[in-house]
Structure 1
Amino acid sequence: MTTTTAGYGSWPSPVDAVLTAAHDGRPDYLGTVGDELWWTAPRPAEGGRRALVRRRADGTEDSVLPPPWNVRSRVVEYGGQPWAAVARPTGGPLVVFSHFPDQRLYAYEPDGAPGARPRPLTPVSATGGGLRWVDPVVRPELGEVWCVLEEFTGPAPTDVRRMLAAVPLDGTAAEDRAAVRELTDARHRFVTGPRVSPDGRRVAWIAWDHPRMPWDGTEVRIADVAPDGTFREARTVAGGPAESIPQVGWDAAGRLLLVSDRTGWWNLYRAEFAAGGELGETVALCPRAEEFGGPLWKIGLSWFTPLENGLIAVVHGKGTTSLGILDPDSGTLVDAAGPWTEWASTLAAHGTRVVGAAAGPQTSCELVELDTRTGRTRVVGAAHTDAVDPAYYPEPRLRTFTGPGGREIHAQVHPPRHPGFTGPAGERPPYVIWAHGGPTGHAPLVLDLEIAYFTSRGIGVAEVNYGGSTGYGREYRERLREQWGVVDVEDCAAVAAALAAEGTADPARLAVRGGSAGGWTAAASLVATDVYACGTIIYPVLDLSAWATGETHDFESQYLHGLVGPLDQVPARYKERSPVEHVDRVTAPFLLLQGLDDVICPPAQAERLLARAAGRGVPHAYLAFEGEGHGFRRDDTIIRALEAELALYVRTFGIDRTDVAPLEYRS
C-alpha cells in the first residue's frame, strides 16, 4: 500500500462513530444453565438495553427475552448480577431477572407455552427509589429466590436499607411486600448476595459499612441454614475495617473460599470448619504479589470459581490479567494460552470446563472456554470479528513513567496508526491523556474502538493508571488516600510531559479526557495545570462539598471521606480542590458531556460549572443527553459524543478536516 503523508489528525478512517457505537459494551454476568451458557449483552441500537442471551448445547445463540426487556439491576446504582436460572427436568429452564425500568424481579420460562410473558415476583414501591434486587440465587426446593434487597425508606438517596431476602417463586409477593421474607437484619449498610454451601447447611455473604468502601474493608458473614430456610447464628468470621474481601464462596468439600488483601495483594484463601462449627485458620492457596480479585463496584462479581475436579479457576495478574487453573493442594497455577490480556470479573463453570469474558489488544471482549482436561481454549460466544482491517487498530505499548518523588506511574500508550497515512517529517502528533473512572479502577489493555477512532485519524491516546488504580496492590491504590485531585492530576500531567519531552507527543497539542472520576481528573487538571490545550469532561464530579452532602447516591456518599478527608475536619480542602470553585483558573477550551438522568454525578454539578464559566471568554461547549444516566449506552448518544470530542480537537489543534461538524461554543 502506498503511504500518504498528511498532518496528524487529518487522516481518513473507516472507524467512524457509528461503527464505534455499534460495538460499545461487552458481554457480562456469565452463568451455566444445564448444558447451556447464558450471559447479558449490550444492545446500543435498542436504547442501550441489556439482553439476556443463551448459547444452547448445539452452539446456536438466541435472546431469552425480546425488547424492551432490560436485564439490569440498579442496586447501589451500579447494579450487579441481575439474573439467575435453573434447569428443570421438564418444561425447560426457569429464569429470575431484574428488569431495569421498574426494578421488579420477574420469573420467566423461555421454553414454556407460546406467548408466555415474564411474571412479576416483587411489588412496586412509591417510596424514594423503590425496591431493587440483585445477585439472585434460585432455591426451587424452598420455592424461593434469595437475593439482595435494596429498599428505600424515604425520598433522600441515603434513606435506604439493605439485607438478604427471600422472594416466593409463586408470585405471592408481586403485590405484597409483606410476603418477602427477610433473611438478615439491616445492621450492615451494604451486603452481597448469599453463597450457599454444597450441603445447604451454611450460607456466606460479604458486608461493610460507611464510611468504608468495599476496597477499604469488608467482613465475611456466615449463618447456619435451618430446614425451613431461616438463618441462624449469623456471625463475622473474617475481614475488618482494613481488610478488603471482595468475593466469598465454597469448594465441593464445604470449605470456605475467600479473596483477601490482608498481605497487600488480593490473594485466594481457604478455611475449614471445626467440629463445633467454628471457622479454622485461613490458608493462602497461591500467595503471590499479584491480584486475584478487584474492587467490588458491583454486587456479585467473581474472580474465582471452583470446578468439579477440585481445581479452582482464577482471574489473576498484575496490571494485565490471565485466566489460570489453580490446584489448591499444591499451589500450582497454570494459565490459559491465548491473545487475551484482560479477563473480566465473571466466570462460569460446567464440569471441568470454565468460561470467562476476555479481551486483548487486537480483540474485543469475547466468551472463552477453557477445557481443563486438555488445556485448550476456544471462543464460544460473542466472538470478536474485525469490523475493519486490523491495520487501523492501535498497537498499545505498556509503559512505566516516573512521577513526583520518583513514584512509578503505569500507562498504556496508543500511538497514531493508519496503514495508508503517516505524519509529516518533523511534526509530532497530538495526544489525549485518558483518565479512567473510579477512581478506584483500572484502564485495561484491550482493543477499544473509541481509542481506534482517534488513533486511526492520527491522534495518539495515553491511558494512565494513576496512583489509586487497582491491579498493582493495595499500596499503589492507597496513594490516592486524601490525595484525590492531587496524585491523579500530577500523574496524568507527568505522563503527558514525558511523552512531550521524549518527542512522542506535540507539547502544544495535548488534551486531557475522562468520565466520572476521570471527568473530575480532567476538570481538576484544567484548573491546576497548564499542560493541556483543551479537555473533554464527561459526567464528572465537580463540586466536592455538594457531592458529600447529598448530591450523589448512597453507595459513594461517603467515598470522599477516604479520597479527600472527613468534610467536618478539612472543609477548606473540599473547596480548594473543587473545579467548580476555581473556574477562573481554566484558560483552555473544554467540552462537557452529561447525561440528564445521572444520579451519581448529577447534571446540577455540570450546570453550576457552566454558570460560573459564562462570560469569562474561554470557549466551551455543553451537550446534555435525555435518557442517559451514568455511562452512555444509546448508540445515538455515543455517536454524538464522539463526534463532538473530535470537533474539539480539530478546532483546538488546528487540524485540517472538512468532515467534522463544528461545535456550538459558549464563552
Structure 2
Amino acid sequence: MTALEQETMAYGSWPSPIDAATAAAHDGSPEFVGVVGEEVWWTAPRPAEGGRRALIRRRADGTEECPLPAPWNVRSRVIEYGGTPWAGAVADGSPVIVFVHFPDQRIYLFRPDEPGAGPRPLTPLSPVGGGLRWADLTLHPGRGEVWGVLEEFTGPGPSDVRRVPVAVPLDGSAAEDRQAVRELTAATHRFVTGPRLSPDGRRAAWIAWDHPRMPWDGTELRVADVTGDGLLTGARTLMGGPEESVAQTDWAADGSLLAATDRTGWWNVHRVDPDTGEAVNLCPREEEFGGPMWKLGYRWFAPLQHGLIAVLHGVGGQRLGLLDPATGEVTAATGPWTEWSPSLAATGGRVVGIAAGARTSHEIVELDTVTGRTRVIGGAHHDTVDPAYLPEAVHRTFPGPDGREVHANVYPPRNPQATGDGPAPWAVWVHGGPTGRAGMVLDLEVAYFTSRGIGVAEVNYGGSAGYGRAYRNRLREQWGVVDVEDCAAVAAGLVAEGAADPARLAIRGGSAGGWTSAAALTGTDTYACGTVLYPILDLTAWSPEGGETHDFESQYLESLIGPLAEVPERYRDRSPVTRADGVSVPFLLLQGLDDVICPPVQCDRFLAALAGRGIPHAYRAFEGEGHGFRRLDTLVTCLEAELSLYAQVFGFTAAGVPELELTV
C-alpha cells in the first residue's frame, strides 16, 4: 500500500505485524565483547530461554556458536547490576574461558575445544548473606590466575558486604577453599574495579570510591606496585575525588597510564603520570569520552598497539573514533551506527565493539585500523518486520522550565496501511538510572506502539548522562522535580505543535523511570494514565535507615534528595506512597517478585495507600523476575497489558490482545 492508499483509522487500532511476542523476542542487546586470539566472544540475551545470558563464540572463519547450552547463564550479580562476567585467553594453542554462572555466582573455567570437558568451578560457595560474587575479570594465564573484583557478604543484610581486588587460581584450588583466593590489596574502599596490569607487570591501576558517592559523582584512580609474589603494595591515589569522576583506566602499550575523567566537566581521556598524578588532556572537547559506570568493566576507550586509542565520544549518542594522542585529532570510523555500547576490545590493529542505529539493532562491529574499514562480524541485524512499520526517529531539544534544554528521542506513529485524524495519543517513556540515557536505537517495543498509532517520546531529562556534568548535576536534590518537569515539558511541546492529543497522554518508565512516572501521576494532571515498572515509591524505606535496597545505591538519595537527617520532610513529601491521594487516573503497576533493588514491598505499600479511592488500576507481579524483566512470557504479558490499558483509556480497540482487568 502506498501512502496515498492509507486508510484513516483510529489511533491505537492500526494493524501491525509487530506483535508482543516478536517485540519481546528481540528484547535486550549483546554485552561485554572481547577478543580471544583470533576469535571474538560476547554475551547475548535469550528471552525464550528463561532470560539467560548466553556466551557467544565467533570463530576466526566467521562461524558463530553458543558453546555453553542452557542452563548456563553468564552474568554477574556484583553491585546487583553486574560487570564483565567472563574473560578469555589462548593457552597452549587453544582458548581458555573463565565465566560467572548467574545462579550460584561461582567462577568456572571452560576449555571449549577440549573434547568432553565441561565447565569446572574455580571459586567456592558461601553460606553467608548474598554469598561470594565476582566481576570485571581479566585472565592471566602466565600467572595461573584470573584477576577481578570479589564482592563478599559478611552478614545477612544488604550492606553487610566488602569488595576487594583478588586473584583466583586457575588450578581449582580455591573451588572449595575461600582462603585460596588471594586478596591483592586491603579492602580500603567500599567499591573497586578490577585491577589493570601494566605491560611490564610492575604496576596495577584500578578505580575506587566510597559511600555516599556514586561512580559518576566522584571516584579515585588508584595505582600500586606489584611485588614479586603478586601483591599490590604502596597503593596511592593519582587523581579523582568527591567532585571528579574517573570512569575508566587502562595502560597503553608503551606503559603510559590512561584515564577518562570529567575534571573539565566532560569525560575526556587523559594521560596520567603514574608517579606524580600529573594529567594531560589528550583531546579537550565538550564531548563525553566516558559514561556512568553502572556495571564494572565498561570500556569507552581501548589503547592499540601502534599508539592510537579507540574511543567512543560524542554529545548524547557516542560514535567510534581513533584518537591520536600526539595530535589530539580524532578520526571517525565509517558506518551507519549512531550508538555504541561501552564495550570496546582491541587487539593488534583491530577494534571490536557493539553498535546500533535508529533502524538497526545492536551488532558486533569490527574496525580495521589499517584500512579504515568497518564491518559487521557478529549478531548481524536482520529485518524482522517490514521497515515501513518502524518509526522515523528524530532527536529533539525542547524548552523546559527556566529556559533549560530538555533532550528527547521522538518516535511519531508510522504505518504504511493507516493514518490518523488529528493529534495522536503519545506515551512519554522515562529511562532508568536516573543517571542513564535513552539511546536512539531500533527497539521493537517502541515500534509495537508506534506501528499501532501511538507516538513515543523517550526523554533524556536533566540528570541524564551524555551531556556533560552540569546537565547531570541538574538532578542533585531535585529528583522528583526536574525529571517530572522535563517529561511534562516534552509532552507540552508535542501538544503545542499539534502532534499529541493533550487528553491522550501516558507516561511509562521502569526503576528510576518508574519513580518519575509515579511521581508524575501523583503530582501532576498531565497524563491520562501510566505504566509503572519495578519502581521506587517510598524514599524513606529506600534509604540506609529503611534498608529496602541493595548496597550500591543505598546512599544514592544523599545526592538525589539530600541527607535524610537534614531533610526528612523532602523524603516524605516527594514519595508517591505518601502522595497516593494525588492519583486520579488509571495505571498499570508491574513488578518482579525477586527484585532486591526495588523490592515488591514498595508496590504493596503504595497499593495499600491507594485502597478505597476508586482509582482503576492493575497490578501484575512475576515470579522469577528481578529488576528488569528478561523472560519472554513476562515481556509479552507486560506489552499486551500496557496496550490494553491505553485502549481502555484512549478509546480504541486493541485487536488480538487480552483485555486488562482494572480493579478499583
TM-score, length of structure 2 as denominator length: 0.98
CA RMSD after TM alignment: 0.8
Distance 1:660 1:99 in 2: 36
1:417 aligns with 2:419: no
SS in 2 for 1:482: coil
Contact 2:91 2:141 in 1 (8 A): no
Matched, 1:262 2:259: no
SS across alignment from 1:378: strand
Structure 2 counterpart of 1:70, one-letter code? N
Find out whether 1:299 has 2:296 as its counterpart: yes
Structure 2 distance, partners of 1:303, 1:603, is 34
Aligned to 1:390: 387
Q: State whether structure 2 residue 53 is matched by structure 1 residue 56.
A: no
Distance (whole Å) between structure 2 residues aligned to residue 21 and residue 330 of structure 1: 46
Matched, 1:14 2:9: no
After the TM superposition, list the runs of 4 or more consecutive aligned residues in structure 1 that deviate by more than 4 angstroms: none
Letter in structure 2 aligned against 1:376: R
Amino acid at match of 1:97: F
Give per-residue Cα distances to partners, 1:579-617, cap 9 Å, x unaligned: 000111100100000000000000000111111212111
In structure 2, what is the Cα distance between the partners aligned to 1:503 and 1:254?
A: 58
Determine the structure 2 residue equivalent to 1:204: 205
**Equivalent-residue separation in structure 2 for 1:107 and 1:20 (angstroms):** 35
Among 394, 407, 431, the residue aligned to 1:436: 431
Pairing 1:250–2:247 present: no
CA distance, structure 1, for counterparts of residue 25 and residue 319 of structure 2: 27
Contact conserved, 2:145 with 2:168, CA < 8 A, in 1?
A: yes
Aligned AA for 2:207?
A: I
Q: Post-superposition shift, 1:66? A: 1.1
Per-residue CA deviations over 1:511-538 (Å, capped at 9, x if unaligned) read 0000000000000000110000000000
Tell me the SS of whatever aligns to 1:246: strand
Which residues of 2 match residues 244-393 of structure 1 at below 5 A? 244-273=245-274, 278-393=275-390
Match in the other structure for 1:476? 471
Question: What's the secondary structure of 2:612's corresponding residue?
Answer: coil
Q: Which residue of 1 aligns with 2:530?
A: 535
Instruction: Tell me if structure 2 keeps the 8 A contact 1:249–1:257.
Output: yes
Conserved? CA contact 1:614–1:666, under 8 Å:
no
Instruction: Specify which of 30, 34, 42 is matched with residue 31 of structure 1.
Output: 34
Distance in 1, matches of 2:415 and 2:368, equals 38
1:523 partner SS: helix
CA drift of 1:351 comes to 1.2
Alpha-carbon offset, residue 262 of structure 1: 0.2
Identity of aligned residues (%): 68
User: Cα offset for 1:629?
Assistant: 0.4
Please name the residue that 1:579 is paired with: 576
What's 2:109 paired with? 107
Equivalent in the alignment of 1:466: 461
State the 1:656 CA deviation.
2.6
Cα distance between partner residues in 1 of 2:478 and 2:298: 28
Shift of 1:228: 1.7
The correspondence for 2:486, drawn from 485, 488, 491, is 491
Given residue 175 of structure 1, which amino acid in structure 2 is its aligned partner?
Answer: E
Shift of 1:184: 1.4
Q: Which amino acid aligns with 1:87?
A: V
Please give the secondary structure, in 2, of the residue aligned with 1:499. helix
- Partner Cα distance (1:29, 1:438) in 2: 20
Give the match's secondary structure for 1:491. Answer: helix
Instruction: After TM superposition, give the deviation of residue 562 of structure 1 in Å.
Output: 0.2
Query: Which one-letter code corresponds to 1:241 in the other structure?
Result: P
Instruction: Return closer, same or farther for 1:280/1:77 CA change in 2, 3 Å cut-off.
Output: closer
Consecutive unaligned residues in structure 1, runs of 5 or more: none
Cα offsets for 1:212-252 (capped at 9, x unmatched): 00000000111111122111111111111110001000101
Q: For residue 658 of structure 1, what is the amino acid of its counterpart?
A: A
Q: Which residue identity lines up with residue 179 of structure 1 in the other structure?
A: A
SS at match of 2:634: helix
TM-score calculated relative to the size of structure 1: 0.98
Question: SS where residue 622 of structure 1 aligns?
Answer: strand
* Alpha-carbon contact 2:261-2:267 (below 8 Å) kept: yes
Alignment of 1:141-180 (within 5 A): 141-180=142-181
One-letter amino acid matched to 1:250: W
Asked whether the 8 Å contact 2:239–2:277 carries over to 1, the reply is no
Counterpart in 2 of 1:77?
80
Name 1:596's counterpart in structure 2: 593
Shift of 1:280: 4.9
Per-residue displacement from partner, 1:373-429 (whole Å, max 9, x unpaired)?
1111110000000000111111111111111111100011110000111112xx211
The number of residues matched between the two structures is 659
* Separation in 2, partners of 1:173, 1:598: 30
CA distance in 2, matches of 1:266, 1:578: 32
Distance in 1 (alpha carbons) for counterparts of 2:425 and 2:580? 25
Amino acid at match of 1:160: V
Do the aligned residues in 1 keep the contact of 2:106 with 2:122 (CA within 8 Å)?
Answer: yes
Deviation at 1:332, TM superposition (A): 1.1
Unaligned runs of 5+ in 2: none
2:644/2:654 contact within 8 Å kept: no
Cα distance in 2 for residues equivalent to 1:582 and 1:31? 47
2:277, 2:36 → 1: CA distance?
33
